[in-house]
Amino acid sequence: MNIILLSNYSIGCVPFYVKRALEKLGHNVYSFSPDYDSNGWTRCSKDVDVNEIVKNISVPIDLVLCVEASTGTKFFPKGLDRVPVPTAWWGIDNHLNYRWHKEYANVFDIAFFAQKEYLLKAQKYGTKNSFWLPLGCDEDIHRDRNLERIYDVSFVGNLTPNRKAFFNTLDVPVNLVSGVYLDEMSKVYSQSKIVLNISAREDLNMRAFEVMCAGALLVTQRIDAGIHDLFAEGRHFVFHDIKNAGDILRYYLDHPKERERIAGAGKEIVIRENSYTKRVETILAKVKEFSGYAETRKQKYDSYKIYIQESLVYRHRSFKLQNEARQLFHEAISRNAVLTLFYVLRFSLFRLIERIDKIFKKNF
C-alpha cells in the first residue's frame, strides 16, 4: 500500500514506531509533520491541506493515517473530507486529551483509541467507527540485549514532584533515569531486574510494553485500562498498589526464579502479540473491512453534527483557533440550530462528568 502518515512527530513517540512498522511490512510510507524534516519525514504546515500532499505524490495513495502525539505542535490537517481514499486516526494520549479526542475522532472514517477506558466513554458519547488499539513495543529497539542486570530496580521517565515523593517512600534503592530514549532506554531496561511503572492517569502506557519486551519484570501501578485483555497478572507482570510497592519490590528481589519466570513470559507474549507491527496490521485490516466510506462521509458532512464537533476541537485551549471554530459553529447552526445547541449542552454535561472523574485519579 501507498500510505500518507501525518503526525506532530517526535523521536520515540508512537508515530516513529508506526512508520517503522509500516515499512517493515513492505508498505510505501510518505510521512509529514509540522515538527520534523529528517529520518524520512517531510516538514509541512500545521494546517496543511492533505489534498495538496496527495497531488504532489506521483503514485496513487491508498490510505491517509494520522497518529496523534501530545508532545509536538498541535496538528490539524485540512481537507480530510475531500480526500479520495479512507482516512484513519490513532489517538494516543486519550487520558490527557479526551475532551477533544472524542470530537476529533469523528473527522476520520475510522478512529482508534489507545486507552480502552476512553474508547468506551467515547462510544457511549456517540463516537462512531471507533476501536481500541493499545500501545505496543518495537521488537527490534526494545529487545532484550542480554546484558548483565546490574540494577535491582529502575525507573525511566520524567521525575515529577508526585513521583519523587513516591520513590522516597519505597525504602528500596531505585535507579532513576530521565532523558533517554530508544536504544539508550532499552539498554537500561535490559540491565534491570525489575522496572517500576507509574501511569500518568491510570493509563496503559508505552513503558509497560517496552519493559516487558526488554525482559525485565514489570511491576506496574494497579490499573484496569484493558491490561487484563492483553496480559495475566502474576503470569506476565505484577501489580503494585502505590502503598505496597516497596514490599512488592523486595519480594521479587528475594525470589529470583519467580521473577525471571514472570519476566520471561511477559517478554514472550509482548513480542508475539503486542508489537507495533501487530498494531499496524490491525489498522490495515480494519481499513480493508471498512467499505462505503465515501457515502458515509457524505452523510456526515450533510449533517450539522460534524461541524459542531470540529468547532469544539478548534476552540479547545490547546489550539485556540477561534476564527475556524466560529465559522464551523455558524455552519452547524445554519444546518440545525436546535440540535446544535443541544449538542453543546450535552458536551458541557460530559465535560462536568470528566472533571469529577479526574478528581478521583491520582496524577503522577
The domain defined by 2-136+278-294 folds into Rossmann fold (3.40.50)
Q: Which residues of 90-117 are buried (b: 16+ CB within 10 A; e: fewer)?
A: bbbbbbebbbbbbbbbbbbbbbbbbbbb
Cα(290)–Cα(116) distance, rounded to whole angstroms?
A: 21
Helix H or strand E encompassing 132: strand 130-132
DSSP 49: B
Cα(45)–Cα(35) distance, rounded to whole angstroms?
A: 9
Domain ranges of the chain: 2-136+278-294, 151-273, 303-364
Cα(6)–Cα(77) distance, rounded to whole angstroms?
A: 8
- The pLDDT profile of the chain, 364 residues, written as one tens digit per residue, is 999 999 987 778 999 999 999 999 999 999 999 987 777 899 999 899 999 999 999 999 999 999 987 666 778 899 999 999 999 999 999 998 999 999 999 999 999 999 999 999 999 999 989 999 999 999 999 999 999 999 999 999 999 999 999 999 999 999 999 999 999 999 999 999 999 999 888 899 999 999 999 999 999 999 989 999 999 999 999 999 999 999 999 999 999 999 999 999 999 999 999 999 999 999 999 999 987 888 889 999 999 999 999 999 999 887 888 999 999 999 999 999 999 999 999 999 999 988 888 777 766 7
Architecture of domain 151-273: 3-Layer(aba) Sandwich (3.40)
